[in-house]
């Protein structure tokens, strides 16, 4: 696991945008799970502005979700709505190459199984980019999640729901039910990048870096990954 410490949130966003562009330029048909939430928001702004000055071809990407809230979240997805507005609106990725979770499906277990199959058909995920939760969760894999877990429906803790509600840009209703890439699915990706910003992430990051590798600290599983990078600002760094 490589930890890259950046000066502040602005530098973190710039570094994340640069890495994102480098990976797309190196492999235009990149299969990537793209993040949502407050930490990636500034990254998407940098990507949009950079694209206007120096375009890279994003049209061949295969875009996957990291996780998504179940109804009563918006029908077009609480997290996916952000991805659409802040990335897909300008990136030129055709709809058939975008893979949001269908949280309106009548059988969520079957939908998640089909999602795993879609990842397999894409040749596996080249890159998963995501944030770190305040209880050290990754995607929506809460403490206690098995390290070999696959894409599945989950129940969020009250702490996680409260944290989502503190986002200054609310997307609609927040459910305590979600679907998520499993930890095993994430570990199978060729590369994982985690964006960690803000003082609230200092304690969970310390547990990830210095504690035991334990399902009680879901993100500690990333220490088992051969190519995992944490982009961390100084407020979050222990």
Instruction: Tell me if residue 50 falls in helix, strand or coil.
Output: helix
Band the pLDDT of 15: cuts 50, 70, 90.
very high
Task: Tell whether 61 is covered by a domain.
Answer: no
What pLDDT sits at residue 48?
A: 97
Q: Provide the residue range defining the domain that includes 47.
A: 2-52+66-233
Residue 58 lies in a domain: no
Reduced to 3 states (helix: H, G, I; strand: E, B; else coil), residue 56 is: coil
pLDDT score at 28? 97
Report the catalytic residues.
67, 135, 137, 142
pLDDT of residue 73: 87
Mean pLDDT of 189-196: 98
Sign of the Cα pseudo-torsion (122, 51, 196, 66, in order):
negative
Q: What is the pLDDT of residue 171?
A: 78
In a domain, 60, yes or no: no
- φ, ψ for residue 178 (rounded to 5)? -150, 170
How many domains would you assign to the chain? 1
pLDDT recorded at residue 92? 96
pLDDT at 152: 98
pLDDT value of position 85 = 96
Residue 29 has pLDDT above 90, yes or no: yes
Query: Each residue of 131-145: pLDDT tens digit?
Result: 999 999 999 999 999
The stretch 210-220 carries a mean pLDDT of 97
- How are beta strands 62-64 and 2-6 bridged, if at all? unpaired
Give the pLDDT confidence score for residue 158 in this predicted structure. 95
Q: What is the pTM of this model?
A: 0.96
CATH number at residue 30: 3.40.50.1360
Per the domain annotation, does 238 fall within a domain? Answer: no
Residues in the chain: 238
Per-residue model confidence as pLDDT tens digits over 150-189: 999 999 999 999 999 998 887 788 999 999 999 999 999 9
Q: What average pLDDT does range 85-94 have in this prediction?
A: 97
d(CA 33, CA 127): 6
């Amino acid at each position: 696991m490589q930890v890259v410490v950046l000066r502040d949130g602005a530098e973190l966003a710039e570094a994340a945008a640069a890495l994102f562009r480098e990976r797309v330029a190196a492999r235009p048909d990149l299969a990537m799970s793209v993040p949502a939430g407050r930490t990636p928001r500034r990254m998407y702004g940098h990507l949009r502005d950079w694209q206007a000055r120096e375009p890279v071809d994003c049209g061949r990407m295969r875009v996957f979700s990291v996780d998504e809230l179940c109804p009563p979240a918006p029908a077009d997805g609480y997290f996916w709505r952000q991805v659409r507005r802040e990335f897909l609106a300008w990136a030129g990725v055709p709809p058939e190459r975008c893979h949001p979770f269908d949280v309106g499906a009548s059988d969520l277990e079957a939908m998640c199984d089909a999602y795993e199959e879609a990842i397999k058909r894409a040749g596996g995920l080249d890159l998963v980019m995501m944030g770190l939760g305040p209880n050290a969760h990754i995607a929506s894999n809460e403490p206690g999640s098995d390290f070999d877990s696959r894409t599945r429906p989950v129940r969020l803790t009250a702490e996680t729901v409260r944290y989502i509600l503190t986002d200054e840009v609310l997307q609609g209703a927040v459910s305590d039910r979600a679907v998520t890439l499993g930890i095993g699915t994430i570990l199978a990706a060729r590369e994982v990048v985690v964006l960690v910003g803000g003082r609230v992430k200092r304690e969970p990051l310390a547990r990830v870096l210095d504690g035991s590798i334990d399902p009680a600290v879901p993100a500690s599983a990333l220490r088992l990954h051969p190519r995992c990078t944490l982009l961390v600002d100084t407020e979050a760094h222990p």
